[in-house]
């Protein structure tokens, strides 16, 4: 263990919780740091790595699971022990914490004794590797320097090992020190406690026994794992392996258990014996099994969803075919025969008859426009996105110049921010600009001096937000939830023409680009449509 006091980082978005944990740690002599968010904790760790982290789970923006996963993914901070401190006590929360990389859990309100014990044990485990390297060399040199024969060497190793037992006893793993012949020369308290709890009776907990012989003579139900352990220990003792480890099951009638066996040399001299450590990994194995079951269920649900999407796509293709062929044929017939009927009745027809014919032909035209809009919306959902560089400023300028050429007498002020380059599908983004700028042109037609702007600003997270703004009719924000739905109109057809499909198409295109769209308005004061675009999907 290091001589300097350990530094512990306390992460909690509630300052009172941070102060409480710091007060509980103070009597143990630890140095403490605090962070009130996951982002601040990551910055502190990057600047000065602590020895241990007490991490709250429920935090805004970046929760404890995300912070733990980021720390464990970074080689610089991956070995820092993490204790999740949370009010969540259900099994799913613990599985999520283990998956993220946490070593331990503490439930709120925190028990002082439990906090001290868990912190102390994790810090000792972290320092254990350094302890072995620094102390085993000294131990072996002293033992070998005083060795005259095998008995004297064993007695000296026992004496030296006894000096280290106090440290080994603090570790949760079951540890035995073996001499170069494979005899047990020392065990820690965890080894003794396990033997007592499971009625593994042997004189002096196996001290002096040939551990290799015990493994060779294991009963049939555990013979395979025991022989594998013996082979690994012999290989490390011979020096043919620098270390050895494997996991094995050790189930009882009432409990499913797994252990990891680790064998390491006492020193660089292969004649100096080995350290045999059995670490209980049952919690991790159980969590792995639970995660595997969850993944299998997830894969099944993904496959079901994929099948449903395939059926939906087939239905959509059938609809598109029907709309483009079966619906257009009777519409063409209605339009043609109504035209012939108008010529047949001639100028002598009554005004009412002419009105009826004009209404029929207007309905046919409107139905044709609706079919075109529906086909466009369906095509947006099915088409592949071709990612390329798109100049939205140039696109907006071309759209608005086209409107100005068609209505040169209309007074309008146009403002376009230059150089707005994005990455997306040129054809789909053209539809976005056509619809948004077309709406701005249409709904500002009744303004004495129309004003249309296309600009870009930074969002709350620093992302680019593109805005189309006009000073036209506007709409009531109470109906904003209907704005991007198909066939949803906030103005009557007599006020402004349209199909009610355009904004639904825009919403789908922006969503497929990984962005979002929203609007702000007030009746009589114009409208602003804002949208973002996500990163290209490779």
Q: What is the pLDDT of residues 11-43, one digit of tens each?
A: 999 999 999 999 999 999 999 999 999 999 999
Phi/psi of residue 532, nearest 5 degrees: -120, 165
How many whole angstroms separate alpha carbon 281 and alpha carbon 259? 5
Collect all residues with Cβ–Cβ distance below 8 Å to 47 and sequence separation of at least 6: none
Reply yes or no on whether the pLDDT at 490 is more than 60.
Answer: no
Is 274 or 499 the better-scoring residue by pLDDT?
A: 274
Question: What pairing do the DSSP bridges indicate for beta strands 517-521 and 450-458?
Answer: unpaired
User: 492, 490, 522, 487: which is closest to 502 by C-alpha?
Assistant: 487
How many whole angstroms separate alpha carbon 536 and alpha carbon 388? 9
Tokens of 368: 């044709």
How many whole angstroms separate alpha carbon 220 and alpha carbon 291? 32
- Dihedral through CA 487, CA 489, CA 493, CA 499, nearest 10? -30
Is 315 or 490 the better-scoring residue by pLDDT?
A: 315
Residue 493's Cβ-count burial label (10 Å; 0-12, 13-18, 19+) is exposed
Tokens of 358: 């004009």
Is 66 or 186 the better-scoring residue by pLDDT?
A: 66
Is 140 or 147 the better-scoring residue by pLDDT?
A: 140
Give per-residue pLDDT as tens, 61-78. Answer: 899 899 999 998 998 888
Local confidence band at 521 (pLDDT 50, 70, 90 cut-offs): confident
CB 274 within 8 A of CB 263: yes
- Edge-to-edge order in the sheet of strand 104-107: 31-35, 7-11, 52-56, 82-86, 104-107
The stretch 488-510 carries a mean pLDDT of 64
The stretch 89-116 carries a mean pLDDT of 85
Give per-residue pLDDT as tens, 277-297. Answer: 888 888 888 888 888 888 888
Reply yes or no on whether the pLDDT at 214 is more than 70.
Answer: yes
pLDDT of residue 21: 92
Question: What pairing do the DSSP bridges indicate for beta strands 421-424 and 388-391?
Answer: antiparallel
Is 458 or 372 the better-scoring residue by pLDDT?
A: 458
CATH tag, 7-110? 3.40.50.2300
User: 234, 205, 24: which is closest to 117 by C-alpha?
Assistant: 24
- CATH class of the structural domain 388-531: alpha beta
pLDDT of residue 494: 46
- Dihedral through CA 108, CA 109, CA 111, CA 117, nearest 10? 20
Question: What pairing do the DSSP bridges indicate for beta strands 464-470 and 527-531?
Answer: antiparallel
How many whole angstroms separate alpha carbon 93 and alpha carbon 87? 10
Residue with tokens 């999907």: 537
How many whole angstroms separate alpha carbon 180 and alpha carbon 380? 74
Residue 502's Cβ-count burial label (10 Å; 0-12, 13-18, 19+) is buried
pLDDT of residue 529: 93
- In DSSP terms, which residues pair with 10 in a beta bridge? 34, 54
pLDDT of residue 445: 84
Residue with tokens 């080995």: 274
Please name the helix (run of DSSP H) or strand (run of DSSP E) that holds residue 341, with its range, or none. helix 328-345
- In DSSP terms, which residues pair with 186 in a beta bridge? 177
Q: Report the percentage of the chain scoring pLDDT > 90.
A: 23
Local confidence band at 149 (pLDDT 50, 70, 90 cut-offs): low
Give per-residue pLDDT as tens, 305-356. Answer: 877 776 666 665 566 556 555 666 777 777 777 777 777 777 677 778 777 7
DSSP 219: -
pLDDT of residue 464: 94
Give per-residue pLDDT as tens, 125-145. Answer: 877 755 665 666 676 667 566
Local confidence band at 396 (pLDDT 50, 70, 90 cut-offs): very high
Least confident of 220-224, 452-456, 507-511: 220-224
Fold for 127-280, please state it.
Beta-Lactamase (3.30.450)
How many whole angstroms separate alpha carbon 225 and alpha carbon 222? 6
In whole numbers, what is the pLDDT of the chain averaged over residues? 81
- CA distance from start to end of the chain: 48
Please name the helix (run of DSSP H) or strand (run of DSSP E) that holds residue 190, with its range, or none. helix 189-197
What residue segments make up the domains of the chain, in order of their start?
7-110, 127-280, 327-382, 388-531
């Amino acid at each position: 263990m290091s001589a300097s006091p350990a530094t512990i980082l306390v992460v909690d978005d509630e300052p009172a919780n941070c102060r409480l944990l710091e007060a509980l740690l103070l009597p143990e002599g630890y140095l403490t740091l605090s962070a009130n968010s996951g982002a601040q904790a990551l910055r502190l760790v990057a600047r000065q790595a602590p020895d241990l982290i007490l991490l709250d789970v429920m935090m805004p923006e970046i929760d404890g699971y995300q912070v733990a996963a980021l720390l464990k993914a970074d080689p610089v901070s991956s070995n820092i022990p993490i204790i999740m401190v949370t009010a969540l006590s259900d099994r799913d929360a613990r599985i999520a914490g283990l998956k993220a990389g946490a070593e331990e859990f503490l439930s709120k309100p925190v028990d002082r004794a439990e906090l001290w014990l868990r912190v102390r044990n994790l810090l000792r485990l972290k320092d254990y590797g350094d302890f072995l390297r620094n102390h085993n060399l000294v131990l072996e040199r002293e033992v070998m320097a005083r060795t005259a024969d095998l008995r004297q060497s064993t007695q000296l190793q026992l004496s030296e090992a006894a000096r280290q037992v106090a440290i080994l006893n603090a570790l949760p793993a079951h540890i035995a020190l073996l001499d170069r012949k494979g005899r047990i020369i020392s065990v820690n308290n965890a080894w003794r406690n396990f033997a007592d709890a499971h009625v593994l009776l042997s004189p002096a907990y196996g001290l002096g026994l040939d551990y290799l012989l015990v493994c060779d003579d294991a009963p049939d139900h555990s013979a395979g794992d025991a022989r594998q352990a013996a082979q690994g220990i012999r290989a490390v003792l011979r020096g043919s392996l620098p270390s050895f480890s494997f996991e094995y099951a050790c189930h009882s009638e009432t409990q499913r258990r797994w252990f990891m066996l680790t064998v390491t040399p006492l020193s660089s001299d292969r004649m100096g014996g080995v350290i045999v450590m059995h670490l209980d990994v049952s919690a991790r194995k159980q969590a792995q099994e639970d995660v595997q079951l969850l993944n299998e269920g997830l894969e099944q649900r993904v496959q079901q969803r994929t099948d449903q999407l395939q059926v939906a796509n087939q239905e959509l293709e059938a609809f598109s075919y029907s709309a483009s062929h079966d619906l257009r044929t009777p519409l063409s017939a209605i339009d043609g025969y109504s035209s012939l009927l108008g010529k047949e009745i001639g100028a002598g027809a009554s005004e009412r008859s002419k009105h009826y014919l004009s209404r029929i032909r207007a309905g046919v035209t409107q139905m044709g426009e609706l079919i075109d809009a529906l086909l466009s919306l369906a095509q947006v959902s099915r088409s592949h996105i071709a990612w390329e560089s798109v100049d939205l400023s140039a696109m907006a300028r071309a759209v608005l110049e086209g409107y100005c050429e068609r209505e040169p007498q209309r007074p309008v002020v146009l403002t376009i921010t230059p150089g707005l380059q994005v990455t997306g599908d040129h054809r789909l983004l053209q539809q976005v600009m056509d619809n948004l700028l077309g709406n701005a042109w249409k709904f500002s037609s009744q303004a004495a001096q129309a004003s249309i702007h296309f600009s870009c600003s930074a969002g709350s997270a620093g992302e680019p937000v593109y805005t189309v703004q006009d000073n036209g009719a506007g709409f009531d924000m109470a109906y904003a939830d209907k704005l991007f739905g198909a066939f949803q109109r906030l103005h009557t057809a007599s006020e402004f023409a349209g199909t009610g499909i355009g904004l639904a198409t825009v919403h789908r295109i922006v969503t497929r680009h990984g962005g979002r769209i929203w609007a702000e308005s007030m009746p009589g004061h114009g409208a602003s449509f804002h949208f973002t675009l996500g990163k290209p999907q490779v």
